[in-house]
Amino acid sequence: MSSQLGQLRLISSVALRNLWLDRFRTTIIGALIAFGAFLAVIGLSLLNDVRASMRASITQSVAGDLQIYSANAKDSLTLFGGGGFMGRADIGNLPDFAPYRDEILRHPNVAAFVPMGLDMAVLARGNELDDSLDALRSAIKGKDSAIIAGRVEQVRFQLEQVGLELTARRQLSADQAELEQQERDLKVAAAPEFLQDVSKIGEEKLQFLETRIAPLSGEKLPTYIQYFGTDIAAYLANFPKFHLIEGTLLGPGERGIMLSRKVRDEQLKNSVAKIFDKIHKRLTKRNQSIAGDDECRRFASDLKKQYQQILSYLDRADAEELSRKLTDLGIAAVGGDELVQRLSHQLTMFLTVDDSNFEQRYSWFYANIAPKIRLYEVSPGQTITVRSYTRSGYIKTLPLKVYGIYNFDGLEDSDLAGVLSIMDLVSFRELYGQMTEASRRELDVMRAQVGIKDVSAENAETDLFGSERPATTVAANDKKEAAEPLSVKPRLADQFDPQEVQRGLALNAAIKLKDSGKEERTQQELLAALENRGLKANIVGWQKASGIVGQLVNIVGGTLLFALAIIFLVAFVIVNNSIIVGTLNRTREIGTMRAIGAQRSFIVNLFLAETGITGFFGAISGTALAVLVIILAGRLGIPAGNDIVTFIFSGPRLYPRVHWTVVTTAPILITIVATLASVYAARHAAKIQPADATQEKE
Amino acid sequence: MTAVVRISSVEKIYPLGKTQVHALSGIDMDIQEGEFTTIAGPSGCGKSTLLNLIGCMDVPTSGEVYIEGLPIAKLSDRELTKLRLEKLGFIFQSFNLIPVLTVFQNVEFPLLLQGRFSRAERQQKVTALLAEVDLTAQQGQRSSELSGGQRQRVAIARALVTGPRIVLADEPTANLDSATGERIIELMKTINRTHKTTFIFSTHDPQVMRQAGRIIRLKDGKVVTGQDS
Ligand SMILES: Nc1ncnc2c1ncn2[C@@H]1O[C@H](COP(=O)(O)OP(=O)(O)OP(=O)(O)O)[C@@H](O)[C@H]1O
Ligand SMILES: [Mg+2]
């Protein structure tokens, strides 16, 4: 017993003395192991931080800890960037979520149940003339003649521009007859007497302008918006990453939408401003230059062509003023008296940017031009028109009031998660294609008109929700008589009874847990509890439900572990080699020990002890250094640098924390790994023969 | 009385490139307990090879070596190591102390390898031997601080501390001046008398040879004459 201890003491004292004698080599190996430990502790701690912050971003924005959806789903639920038909996964629906909710809320670990429905639709977009006509229409309603006159002036100014566009198109167009008709229409509209007498601008004239003239100015590309409908009050109470930037919150019982900031910035912002922003971002955040970066050069050459995007929002007075200001800026007006031509030229010059003038033009634009134009197509308070294809092939068009613009904190720049908009559940249901009493009556009327008879309301409902029929527009088009899908314009009130979102249809629901550590157990227990009640459903964890966004955590972790593995492999080889080289100097000593009776195992243990001790102290000091760095970084925060890292950090800065499990296990593991790394070298040393004791040194 | 070492038609062949070196060819001899034997002969005659075989550091190519009647040719490395630890003591030409250990620790080393003595027992054995080789004052020093003669006395103490039946010494005086060498042989002889330990050592030095009780002369791997004193 005590002699075993004696041998152990012997080994450790010989090992320590050898390490001291060979302190240069010991220091190198120790430093290498310390470096490995440092990287491992930093890496694993950051991984834990990133995992935690991404988890928070995802679970506290949309996902919750668990998601429940129909057992009849054809696709699996993907909250961010889901696939399926037209980007819409078919996850079925829960015709009434109330029994599910009641059962789930009974579980002691469940904190909340928030019904949801995820879908996408087209945002109808007019052009600038449409916008001006809308403004004129509401001015006429307001009956203030000064305002009306201003609006008329703006419309006239835009008609001039449409005229120029048509002339330009003349050279390209093949259909001369159509073009002549368009020119005749425009002539009527642009004639001075057409909009002369403010009191005589009636519905007829407005409709003429809207239907015959506005389309000449070109349609904007339709924009898809992804959104989810939810019980807004429950949602806001449970998802703290929701962050309102502009406008107001959607209140209980109010019908409307809150748009994602990213979508609005990227798709609904004036394109001049958008290009300015993009270049500015590349110059400031990525330290690029316009001359030296292909992307910037492409943006810059796009920018020059966008003067129309400024011009078409101006009325004559604004245009005159802008022309004067540009002249003051040093961009002279050439091209005669014609204002549109003169300003077009000046704006083109203004929008021709390079590295020397960009910052000046950028701020000048926001100071002098932005206030005069509509920076965003959509702003809080406005009503937008959303068009959706229901699962059974109907087009539903729904006006929705925009209440606010919002972000998910930490996901603001995510292409997948940052683009979701949020609406109330009642509007969602309408766009999804659920029949309300009002729209059902309307559908009956329309069916009668197109000659479909004997369709009871009940059958219509089955058609809409039944899965027997392929629920696509293609299916509808198969029937010749229904070549055009029915367009149903529902008349929904702006308010609804908040009780309506306490039950009824939802596609999925987020389940928030009290202790999210018990995610898997709770998931199993909830499934069992539902089963007991005869309720079937799919329940998945947040990471699975968030699709590729949730997987990113694993990808980041995998990459990090891979990098660590490579570093350790290199360290492994270096430690191994340096020990083998070390044994060469010690052949006589080892031979002597073997000659006077030391077993091979004694030599192996001696070597393992040497690297074990080096490894232990190396790992401890590397870990200590890492802890210091983490504490320091936790104070200052690590800046994200670019979008991808911002997303991974779930914010502009990551504040790392010291993770005690990492700090305690990493040095132990690294010591073990370092010791194992020397097994080969130790066995190599143990092969030295006793007769080598007499080998002459040097 | 059985021989403590018996060598029976031992051959040792070393491969050397494509050829072979017959280091020992057909050796037969018995060494009795308590003998003070020297192996003599010109350089390359096979003295070290023979001592290595007796010292269980190597096995013969053919023939057999018996240590206290036990044949060693078929023993494993483990068993040979155990035999060296328990029955044999070694003294080297270059002393071969463990440089990182003190005088005391060097002498204690084989006892720790044996692992059956308490701290007090070890203390007592080591102290007694250090007194016997007259190094009590130096027991805390490192070997690098000692003279050649002192080092070899430490080596003798280390070789004797386990109470071996046989002590082997390959040219123990070759690295010492003749006066010191003589005193080392003197010391070995004293121990041979008092402890009844069998000593087998090799040497070139005729002065040293004269001290031996028995001289075995080798030439080209063969015993020339077995001259008893
Ligand atoms: N490991 C070995 N490999 C090959 N040949 C060897 C080896 N050891 C010894 N020899 C050869 O065997 C012969 C005997 O060598 P040995 O060392 O036993 O002689 P020695 O009598 O001890 O000589 P010296 O007085 O020089 O120490 C020599 O020719 C030597 O070259
Ligand atoms: Mg020799």
Q: What is the pLDDT of residues A291-344, one digit of tens each?
A: 888 888 999 998 988 887 888 778 778 888 898 999 998 888 776 677 878 888
DSSP, res B11: E
- Nearest beta carbon to residue B85 from set A6, A7, A597: A597
Q: How long, in residues, is chain B?
A: 229
pLDDT mean across residues, chain B: 90
Question: How much is the pLDDT for B53?
Answer: 93
pLDDT mean across residues, chain A: 83
- Categorize the per-residue pLDDT at A478 as very low, low, confident or very high, splitting at 50, 70 and 90: very low
Buried b (16+ CB within 10 A) or exposed e, A434-444: bbbeebbebbe
Question: How much is the pLDDT for A82?
Answer: 59
User: CB burial class (10 A; 0-12, 13-18, 19+) of residue A196?
Assistant: exposed
- Categorize the per-residue pLDDT at A627 as very low, low, confident or very high, splitting at 50, 70 and 90: very high
The more confidently predicted of residues A557 and A222 is A557
- The whole-number average pLDDT for the span B133-142 is 92
The DSSP result for B84-153, as a single string, is HHHHEEEE-TT----TTSBHHHHHHHHHHHHT-S-HHHHHHHHHHHHHHTT-GGGTTSBGGGS-HHHHHH
For tokens 């010749």, name the residue: A480
Which residues from chain A sit within 8 angstroms of residue B82, using beta carbons? 597, 599
Question: How much is the pLDDT for A488?
Answer: 47
The C-alpha of B118 sits at a distance from chain A's nearest C-alpha, in angstroms, of 6
Which residues from chain B sit within 8 angstroms of residue A593, using beta carbons? 98, 109
Per-residue CA distances from A105 to A114, A522, A538, B24, B203 (Å): 11, 12, 16, 92, 96
Ion ligand 2: residues, CB within 5 A, are: B 48
For tokens 């009130």, name the residue: A493
For chain B, how many structural domains are there in total?
A: 1
The dihedral through the CA atoms of B67, B70, B72, B78 has a sign that is negative
Number of Cβ pairs < 8 A linking chain A and chain B: 94
> Would you call A7 and B85 a contact, using CB atoms and an 8 Å cutoff?
no
Give the domain CATH number at B47: 3.40.50.300
Distance from the Cα of residue A88 to its chain's centroid? 17
- The whole-number average pLDDT for the span A50-59 is 86
CB-ligand 1 contact for B12 (6 Å cutoff): no
Q: What is the pLDDT of residues A249-307, one digit of tens each?
A: 999 999 999 999 998 998 888 889 999 998 998 888 777 888 888 888 999 998 988 88
User: CB burial class (10 A; 0-12, 13-18, 19+) of residue A431?
Assistant: buried
- Nearest beta carbon to residue A693 from set B86, B96, B118: B96
Question: How much is the pLDDT for A485?
Answer: 46
- Is B194 inside any structural domain? yes
User: CB burial class (10 A; 0-12, 13-18, 19+) of residue A110?
Assistant: buried
Question: How much is the pLDDT for A150?
Answer: 76
Could you give the CA distance from residue A27 to residue B10 in angstroms, rounded to a whole number? 50
Which is nearest to A513 in space by CA: A116, A62, A59, A80?
A59
CB-ligand 1 contact for B14 (6 Å cutoff): yes
The more confidently predicted of residues A139 and A348 is A348
Could you report how far apart the first and last alpha carbons of chain A are, in Å?
40
Could you give the CA distance from residue A422 to residue A257 in angstroms, rounded to a whole number? 6
- The whole-number average pLDDT for the span B50-71 is 92
Among B21, B201, B202, residue to substitute to test ligand 1 (most atoms within 8 Å of Cβ): B21
Q: Is the pLDDT of residue A125 over 60?
A: yes
- Is B23 inside any structural domain? no
CB-ligand 1 contact for B43 (6 Å cutoff): yes
The bound ligand whose nearest atom lies closest to the alpha carbon of B205 is 1
Among B11, B13, B45, residue to substitute to test ligand 1 (most atoms within 8 Å of Cβ): B45
- Is B19 inside any structural domain? no
The more confidently predicted of residues A417 and B207 is B207
- Is B162 inside any structural domain? yes
Which is nearest to A43 in space by CA: A646, A517, A650, A629?
A629
- Categorize the per-residue pLDDT at A471 as very low, low, confident or very high, splitting at 50, 70 and 90: very low
Residue B15 CA: nearest ligand 1 atom is: 4
Question: How much is the pLDDT for B155?
Answer: 94
φ and ψ of A242, to 5 deg: -70, 135
Question: How much is the pLDDT for A456?
Answer: 44
Question: How much is the pLDDT for A438?
Answer: 57
- Categorize the per-residue pLDDT at A76 as very low, low, confident or very high, splitting at 50, 70 and 90: confident
- Within 10 angstroms of residue A655's Cβ, the number of other Cβ atoms is 15
Q: Is the pLDDT of residue A345 over 90?
A: no
CB-ligand 1 contact for B164 (6 Å cutoff): no
Token pair in block for residue A19: 């390490």
Q: How long, in residues, is chain A?
A: 698
Per-residue CA distances from A311 to A14, A169, A320, A526 (Å): 87, 18, 11, 60
Which residue pairs from A159-164 have beta carbons closer than 8 angstroms and sit at least 24 positions apart in sequence?
Answer: A159/A129, A159/A186, A159/A189, A159/A190, A159/A213, A160/A190, A160/A340, A161/A217, A161/A308, A161/A311, A161/A312, A161/A340, A162/A129, A162/A186, A162/A213, A162/A216, A162/A217, A163/A190, A164/A340
CB-ligand 1 contact for B13 (6 Å cutoff): no
Question: How much is the pLDDT for A437?
Answer: 56
Residue B161 and residue B110 in contact, taking contact as beta carbons nearer than 8 Å: yes
Q: Is the pLDDT of residue B181 over 50?
A: yes
- Give the residue, by CA position, lying nearest to ligand 1 atom 31: B44
Could you give the CA distance from residue A632 to residue B65 in angstroms, rounded to a whole number? 70
Q: What is the pLDDT of residues A91-120, one digit of tens each?
A: 888 999 999 999 999 999 999 999 999 888
Question: How much is the pLDDT for B17?
Answer: 84
Q: Is the pLDDT of residue A373 over 50?
A: yes
- The whole-number average pLDDT for the span B77-103 is 92
Which is nearest to A311 in space by CA: A359, A251, A353, A374?
A374
Question: How much is the pLDDT for A87?
Answer: 54
Per-residue CA distances from A161 to A90, A168, A217 (Å): 46, 11, 9
- Give the residue, by CA position, lying nearest to ligand 1 atom 23: B44
The C-alpha of A523 sits at a distance from chain B's nearest C-alpha, in angstroms, of 58
Question: How much is the pLDDT for B229?
Answer: 41
Could you give the CA distance from residue A519 to residue A357 in angstroms, rounded to a whole number? 55
Q: Is A164 helix (H, G, I), strand (E, B) or coil?
A: helix
Which is nearest to B198 in space by CA: B226, B148, B159, B154?
B159
H-run or E-run covering B9? strand B5-16
The bound ligand whose nearest atom lies closest to the alpha carbon of B47 is 1
> Would you call B94 and A13 a contact, using CB atoms and an 8 Å cutoff?
no
Question: How much is the pLDDT for A465?
Answer: 43
The more confidently predicted of residues B183 and A154 is B183
Which is nearest to A369 in space by CA: A250, A273, A487, A507?
A273
Domain ranges of chain A: 2-57+550-691, 72-123+222-262+384-449+494-535, 126-219, 270-375
The C-alpha of B97 sits at a distance from chain A's nearest C-alpha, in angstroms, of 8
- Give the residue, by CA position, lying nearest to ligand 1 atom 22: B48
Question: A657: which strand partners?
Answer: none
- Categorize the per-residue pLDDT at A477 as very low, low, confident or very high, splitting at 50, 70 and 90: very low
Which is nearest to A21 in space by CA: B98, B174, B169?
B98
Q: Which residue of B has its CA nearest to A592?
A: B96
Q: Is the pLDDT of residue A182 over 90?
A: no
- Categorize the per-residue pLDDT at A522 as very low, low, confident or very high, splitting at 50, 70 and 90: very high
> Would you call B98 and A592 a contact, using CB atoms and an 8 Å cutoff?
yes
- Nearest beta carbon to residue B84 from set A20, A595, A696: A595
Q: What is the pLDDT of residues A561-598, one digit of tens each?
A: 898 889 888 888 888 888 888 888 889 999 999 999 99
Out of A134-138, A425-429, A619-623, pick the least confident.
Answer: A134-138
> Would you call B109 and A13 a contact, using CB atoms and an 8 Å cutoff?
no
- Nearest beta carbon to residue B58 from set A4, A691, A696: A691
Q: Is the pLDDT of residue A470 over 50?
A: no
Question: How much is the pLDDT for A380?
Answer: 92
CA of B203 to the centre of ligand 2 (A): 9
Question: How much is the pLDDT for A440?
Answer: 62
Q: Which residue of A has its CA nearest to B89?
A: A596
Question: A260: which strand partners?
Answer: A406
- Nearest beta carbon to residue A599 from set B81, B118, B159: B81
Could you give the CA distance from residue B162 to residue A393 in angstroms, rounded to a whole number? 98
CB-ligand 1 contact for B39 (6 Å cutoff): no
Among B10, B14, B27, residue to substitute to test ligand 1 (most atoms within 8 Å of Cβ): B14
Domain encompassing residue B46 = 33-60+76-228
The dihedral through the CA atoms of A351, A352, A354, A357 has a sign that is negative
